[in-house]
Amino acid sequence: MNTISLKILASLIALFGLGAGSGYVVAKRTSPAPPAPPARVATIPLGMRTNLPNRYFARWSDRRIAEYRQLLNLTPSQEAALRTHFEALAADYDSLRADIRARMTQALVRANADIARDLTPEQRRIFWQHLKEKAKE
């Protein structure tokens, strides 16, 4: 290759690089900013909230009563009796949920304390800080 061909080739490469670079800059400046991520809110599924009635359980019991009404040809008084049995079951279910939630919380606290015992003081500080940050999420 002679020097003129090398100069032309270098000029074309430089021109291509400048075009690609300026295209990148223009695209970055004119493109809309990405939307901010939604704020993470620590939500507990409705079925896990012990202070609220469980909508899913209520729907399930309503379906069972409708199924039994059709299958067994229930009288209105029998249907009312079944409804009271399902309401008692819902109360038992809610108390079990509350008990399990308390026991799980105790188990997690115990596990975290056991984990922290096996860490160095610096690791323990980072571990507790991490747990506090996760609790805020």
Tell whether 23 and 65 lie within a shared domain: no
Is residue 12 located within the same domain as residue 76?
no
In a domain, 24, yes or no: yes
Same-domain pairing of 92 and 125: yes
Q: What is the pTM of this model?
A: 0.47
Indicate whether 76 and 119 sit together in one domain.
Answer: yes
Has residue 62 been placed in a domain? yes
Same domain for 57 and 24, yes or no, is no
- Token pair belonging to 89: 């079951």
Task: Kindly report, residue by residue over 89-135, the tens digit of the pLDDT.
Answer: 988 888 888 889 889 989 988 999 999 999 999 999 999 999 888 88
Q: What is the pLDDT of residues 14-64, one digit of tens each?
A: 888 888 888 777 777 766 666 655 555 444 555 455 555 677 888 889 999
Range of the domain at 99: 46-136
